[in-house]
Structure 1
Amino acid sequence: MGAETDALLRRIHDEYADMLWRYVVRIPYDSELARDVVQEALLRAWKDGAILERPDPVVRAWLVKVARNLALDDLRSARTRRERATEVLPEGHQEDETRRSLDAWLVTDALATLSQEHREVVVGAYYGGKTVATLAEELGIAAGTVKSRMHYGIRALRLALQERGVTA
């Protein structure tokens, strides 16, 4: 297809594209997708080639029929039937809290095996975010004692978790 066909296609586009777009939009059809349908109909006319040699009324009828079929096929497609436009986004992905809940339950159970002194410093430091100095002041003991209880409390907690199947 040479320059003659290109000129003919350009002429047919100029003559029929707006009319086809208005026709497809009335089906009813999305205006942006209607442009795609018109483009596809004109592309099929270009690929056929022989249709472009026919008289204008035949070309017009052929283009309208092709555009109509393309639009109706798309409207009947699963994509169109199942997809809906919305202004409100659906809820975002939310983490499953089951794992976190089970882990918390496991740690709580293991903490219950510690002595009161060890549990106070471990919970105060890790869950309370308290410093050694703060814990020493609140518990009325020396900072070295807090460190010692923390060390042995963590060792006992590690052992309790290992007994429950948690590995390092």
Structure 2
Amino acid sequence: MTTALRTPRTTETDLAQVQREHGGPLYAFLLRLCDGDRQRAEDLVQETFVRAWQHPEALRSAHESVRPWLFTVGRRLAIDARRARLARPAEVGGAVLDSARVCADHAERSAATLDVREAVATLSPEHRAVLLEVYFKGASVAEAARTLGIPAGTVKSRAYYALRALRRVLPGYAPDLR
């Protein structure tokens, strides 16, 4: 059946006839271009038929069928939609954002660093030296004891009391030790 429309304007009946005749094959074609995304293919089919309604001269052409014109318009719409999607940042679902790790901004991290430095400065030199070896340099208790020239038990007790003092000075950073 040919679809050469003779009226000066495209009527709903004419457009419905074109849709019945070419809608299925156009949808199948666009579905392949959309990598199986049904919703996107349906949107492109609708937009293609909107363009057909806006351009009745294309539907009244001297050609035997309007299908090549519809497929060309649909293909161009698919290409434009793909380019538009690639130009925007990727969309993420809410589930991804809910599970995403929250990072403090640079200002908060800088403020926390200053707070910790001030708190460490309030410690005795012996406690500060133990924390420096064990927590900041990552030394084991035995290595810290060798470096500082004190017994391992003393390293443990100084680290305990140094952390306890820091918890008192920095109450918002760690739970209280009781």
Of 65, 81, 86, which aligns to 1:58?
A: 65
Of 94, 97, 101, which aligns to 1:92?
A: 101
The equivalent of 1:49 in structure 2 is: 56
- Aligned-partner Cα distance in 1 for 2:80–2:170: 66
**TM-score, with normalisation over the residues of structure 1?**
0.53
Of 34, 38, 41, which aligns to 2:45?
A: 38
Give 1 or 2: higher helix fraction: 1
Of 13, 16, 25, which aligns to 2:19?
A: 13
- Does the C-alpha gap of structure 1 residues 72 and 128 become closer, same or farther in structure 2, counting only changes over 3 Å? closer
Q: Which runs of 4+ in 1 moved over 4 A?
A: 81-88, 124-130
TM-superposed deviation, 1:59: 1.6
Asked whether 1:104 is paired with 2:111, we answer no
- Does the C-alpha gap of structure 1 residues 84 and 125 become closer, same or farther in structure 2, counting only changes over 3 Å? closer
Taking only aligned residues, the RMSD between alpha carbons, in angstroms, comes to: 4.2
Q: Write out per-residue CA displacement over residues 79-112 of structure 1, whole angstroms, 9 at most, x where no aligned residue.
A: 2377668899474331143432222222333x44
Q: Percent same amino acid at aligned positions?
A: 25
**TM-score, with normalisation over the residues of structure 2?**
0.51
- Does the C-alpha gap of structure 1 residues 45 and 129 become closer, same or farther in structure 2, counting only changes over 3 Å? same
TM-superposed deviation, 1:5: 0.6
Aligned pairs, number: 123
Structure 1 unaligned spans of 5+? 114-118, 135-168
